[in-house]
Amino acid sequence: LLVGSPWSGYPANRTGDIYACPVGTSKTTCKKLNLQALTTIPNVTEIKEEMNLGLTLIQNSKTGGFLTCGPLWAQQCGSQYYATGVCSEISPSFQILRSFSPAVQKCSSVIDVVVVCDESNSIYPWDAVRDFLKKFVQGLDVGPTKTQVGLIQYGNDPRIVFNLNEYKTKDEVVKAMHGTYQKGGDLTNTFKAIDYARAAEEVPSTRQNPPGTDQGDTFQMEMSQVGFSAYYSQKKDVLLLGAVGAYDWSGTVVQEASNKVTTFPSHVFEKILQDRNHSSYLGYSVAVLSTQNSVYFVAGAPRSNYTGRVVVYDVDSHGNITIVQSQRGEQIGSYFGSVVCSVDINRDSVTDVLLVGAPMFMNDLKKEEGRVYMFSITEVGIKLLWVPLQLFFKILINYMKVVFLKKFTSDRKWFLSYPMLLKITLSPFKIFFRSQSIANVSIIASFKPEKISLLNKNTEITVKICFEATFRPAKRNNQVAIRYNATLDADLQSSRVTSRGLFKENNERYMQRDLVVRREESCVHDIFSVQEPSDTVNSLSLRIDIGLANPGSSPVLDIYSPASVAYSIPFIKNCGEDELCICDLVLNVQQKTDD
C-alpha cells in the first residue's frame, strides 16, 4: 500500500514523500522512500522545499510501478520563482525511472540594468549612495547569460562608469560599485543622462536581447502546477496531467502520448468554461471514459463560473480537441468537479458510470453535506443521475442475508421463530433457515404554535412526535420496541454549544424515551421553553434519533431508512400577512457645493 505524504518534512519544509506499507503481513511499519531527494530536474535551479510530493499518486499498470507528482515544485529564474510542478515515474522496486516537468521555463536574460546615478554637488554623503548601489546589486542574479549591470553617473554631463558586459559576476559588480566616486557638478542634468543611457551605442552589450512575449500582464504556464491531478489511459497509452495554475489559474490539461507532450492552449476551453475572471482551476481532477469504440477525456473545473463544471472532450490524431459534452454544477461554491471517478462496474474495460463530487454542496439547513453525482455512460450520450453523498458512506449490511444458526442433530427437526427464507435439502433430513423480520419506522414532528414569537420571553412550544411502522413480512400483530432521543437546537450535522430551548420535563436539551411502534400511528407530546435567543435569524431545530430498545431482538430496523430526522421551527419575522420580507431601501446622494 502506497501512501502519499505531501507535507512530509513539516515544519522545516513540505517537500513531501511516499510511504510503502506492507499488506497481509505481521509487519506494520511503513517505509519512507525518500523520493523527494531523488526527484530532480537537471540544469534548473530547483526550489523543492514546498513541492508537496505525493499530493498526486496513481498506479501505472503498464510498468507495474506508479507516478507521483509535486505540483508546487518551483524553479528559480533570477529573482522569480515559477511553480511549474514536477512528476516522477517510479518502478515496482521503488527506483526513479525519470523525473519530468512539462512546463519548465527557459530562464532568459529578461532584464539588463543600467543604473543612472546623480553625482552632482547636491548629493551628500557619497558613502550612502555607494551602500545603496551595493545593496541593490545583491538582489540581482548577475551573470553572462543572466542579468547584466551597467552604471552611468551624471552631474553637468553623463559619463559611463562601466558597461553592461564589463563584469561577469555579482561580486565583481559589487566591488565596482564600492569603488565608484563622486565627480561632482553644479548642474543636475537628469534628462540628458537618461537620453544618454538609452542610446544603444553608448551602452554596448555582448549579447542580443530576446524579444518580448507581449504577455507581461498575464501568466501562461509559469505557475501551472502541472501534476495537481493525473490519470493513465491504458486503452490509448496516454498520461493526463492537470495544470490548475495555467493561464492565470484558468487551468488546462497536459497530455503525454508516445513521449510527446501536448499542452492545450487557453482558447480551447475558454468558451465552455465561461471564465470571466479566470480561476476556473481546470485540471483540478482528470479521468478517462472508455466506451466500446471510443475514449473520452474528462477534466474538472470546480470554480468555473462559480458553480464548477466537468468537461468531456476528445482528442484526434493531430492533437485537436472537440468538446463532447459538459455539465455545470447546480450550486455556487459547491466545488462541483473537484473530484471525478470513472467506474467500470463489470470489468469489461468499458466505463459504466462517471462519478462527480461536489464536496461543498450545501443543504437546505445551510450545512455543507456535499453531494455525489452519477452519470451513466452510453455511446449515444451521457445521462445524468444524482446520488446524495451520504449513501456512499454507509456500510451496507442487508439483514435479509444474515442467517443465525443453532446447533442441531440429525435426529431432530429444528425451526427458528422467524419467517422462512430458505430451505435446503440434505439427505436424510431437511433444514429450514429463517431470518429476522424488518421494520421501517417513519417519524413526523409538528409544533404548536408553528413559529416562535419574540414578544414572549418564556415562549413554550408543544412538539408532537408521531411514529408508525411498516414490516416485512407483514403480520397483523407486528410491533417493534424503539428508543428515541430528541435533541433541541441540533440538526443532522451538528448541534449548538448552548441550546436556545430546554424541555420542560427535565430542564435539559435532551429527552429520551422507549416506545412500542406498530402499524398504527402513535404519538407523544413534549413541551419545551425557548430561552432568550442570541440568534433569531436561523430556525431552532429538533433532531430525533431512533434505535432498537433491545439491540439484537427482532424485528430489526431497516438500514435503508433514516435513523435520524430533523425538523425546525422558525422565528416570527413580522413581515405582514404574506410573510414576505422585501427590502425597500432607496439611497439618494446629493453633492454639497463649496458654499
At 255 the three-state DSSP class reads: strand
Tell me which architecture the domain covering 112-202 has in CATH.
3-Layer(aba) Sandwich (3.40)
Alpha helices in 179-265 (DSSP H): 190-198, 246-249
* DSSP structure string for 428-490: TEEEEEE---EEEEEEEEEEESSSB-SS-TT-EEEEEEEEEEEEES--TT--EEEEEEEEETB
- Cβ neighbours around 344 below 10 Å, total: 14
Q: Does the pLDDT at position 461 exceed 90?
A: yes
pLDDT score, position 385: 45
pLDDT score, position 491: 86
Q: Considering only 366-370, 512-516, 541-545, 547-551, which range has the smallest mean pLDDT?
A: 366-370
Q: Does the pLDDT at position 428 exceed 70?
A: no
Q: Does the pLDDT at position 182 exceed 70?
A: yes
C-alpha to C-alpha distance for 532 and 213, rounded to whole angstroms: 65
- Confidence bin at 9 (pLDDT 50/70/90): confident
At 464 the three-state DSSP class reads: strand
Per-residue model confidence as pLDDT tens digits over 74-101: 998 877 788 999 999 999 999 999 999 9
* DSSP structure string for 57-77: EEEETTTTEEEEEETT-EEEE
pLDDT score, position 535: 84
pLDDT score, position 434: 59
Q: Does the pLDDT at position 403 exceed 50?
A: no
pLDDT score, position 218: 59
pLDDT score, position 583: 76
Q: Considering only 94-98, 193-197, 219-223, which range has the smallest mean pLDDT?
A: 219-223
pLDDT score, position 402: 37
Residue closest to 439 by CA, chosen among 515, 513, 510: 515
- Contacting residues for 15 by C-beta, under 8 A, at least 6 apart: 8, 9, 36, 48, 49, 50, 51, 52, 53, 70
- Cβ neighbours around 191 below 10 Å, total: 9
Per-residue model confidence as pLDDT tens digits over 478-519: 899 999 999 999 988 878 888 999 999 999 999 999 999 999
pLDDT score, position 181: 93
Give me the mean pLDDT over the 433-459 stretch: 84
- What is the dotted CATH code of the domain comprising 438-569? 2.60.40.1460
* Amino acid letter, residue 316: D
Per-residue model confidence as pLDDT tens digits over 109-161: 557 889 999 999 989 899 999 999 999 998 887 887 778 899 999 999 999 99
Per-residue model confidence as pLDDT tens digits over 224-259: 999 999 999 888 889 999 999 998 889 999 999 888
| The most confident of 44-48, 195-199, 364-368, 417-421, by mean pLDDT | 44-48
Greatest alpha-carbon span in the chain: 127
C-alpha to C-alpha distance for 563 and 579, rounded to whole angstroms: 33
pLDDT score, position 593: 77
- Confidence bin at 59 (pLDDT 50/70/90): very high
Higher pLDDT, 282 or 142: 282
Count, residues in the chain: 595
Q: Considering only 202-211, 260-269, 538-547, 584-593, which range has the smallest mean pLDDT?
A: 202-211
Residue span(s) of the chain under CATH 2.60.40.1460 come to 438-569
Give me the mean pLDDT over the 4-9 stretch: 92
Q: Which three cell numbers stand for residue 522?
A: 402513535
Residue span(s) of the chain under CATH 2.130.10.130 come to 33-104+221-363+371-378
Query: Measured between alpha carbons, how far apart are the two ends of the chain, in Å?
Result: 80
pLDDT score, position 204: 47
Residue span(s) of the chain under CATH 3.40.50.410 come to 112-202
C-alpha to C-alpha distance for 514 and 522, rounded to whole angstroms: 12
Q: Are 438 and 553 in contact (CB under 8 A)?
A: no
Per-residue model confidence as pLDDT tens digits over 464-476: 999 999 998 888 7
Domain 33-104+221-363+371-378: which topology? Methylamine Dehydrogenase; Chain H (2.130.10)
Per-residue model confidence as pLDDT tens digits over 336-395: 999 999 998 888 888 888 999 999 998 877 778 888 898 887 655 555 444 444 433 333
Q: Does the pLDDT at position 431 exceed 80?
A: no
C-alpha to C-alpha distance for 373 and 230, rounded to whole angstroms: 21
Instruction: Return mean pLDDT, the chain.
Output: 83
Location of C-alpha cell 565583481: 172
- DSSP state at residue 305: G
* DSSP structure string for 353-396: EEEEEETT-B-TTS-B--EEEEEEE-SS-EEEEEEEGGGGGS--
pTM attached to this predicted model: 0.55
Peptide bond preceding 92 in cis form (omega within 30 of 0):
no
